[in-house]
Amino acid sequence: MELALSTSLVHPCYGRVSDPILALFSGGEQGAYYDPSDSSTVFQDAAMTTSAGANDPVGAIMDKSGNGNHATQSTAAARPIRRTDGTHWWLDGDGIDDTLSASSAITLRENHYWAGAFSIDTRSGPDGKGLLSSSNVIESSASSSDALGIYQRSDVVERVRAAMRIGVGSSYIGELNGAFTIGTPFIGEAYHESNVLTASNALASATLAADDNTTSANKGIRIFGNGSKTKFYGGICLMRVASPQEKTAVREWLQAASGVTL
Q: Identify each DSSP E strand in 1-145 by its residue range.
A: 9-11, 15-17, 31-34, 42-43, 60-61, 71-72, 81-84, 89-92, 100-107, 113-120, 129-133
Calpha distance 24→9 (Å, rounded): 9
CATH top class, domain 12-258: mainly beta
Mean of pLDDT values over 9-34: 76
State pLDDT tens for residues 227-259.
778 999 999 999 899 999 999 999 999 999 999
Q: What are the pLDDT digits (tens) for 132-172?
A: 888 655 444 444 566 778 887 765 566 777 777 666 666 67
Q: Are 135 and 145 in contact (CB under 8 A)?
A: yes
For residue 57, give the 3-state DSSP assignment. strand
Task: State the average pLDDT over residues 3-28.
Answer: 65
57-94 pLDDT, tens digit per residue, is 999 999 999 999 999 999 999 999 999 999 999 999 99
Q: Are 107 and 144 in contact (CB under 8 A)?
A: no
Place 44 in a pLDDT band, splitting at 50, 70 and 90.
very high
Q: What is the pLDDT of residues 169-225, one digit of tens each?
A: 666 777 776 666 788 899 989 888 887 888 888 877 888 777 666 666 677 889 987
pLDDT for 5: 46
Which of 262, 193, 225 has the alpha carbon at shortest distance from 73? 225
- Paired with 9 in beta bridges are 17
- Give the DSSP H/E element, type plus range, for residue 249: helix 244-258
Residue 45 has pLDDT above 50, yes or no: yes
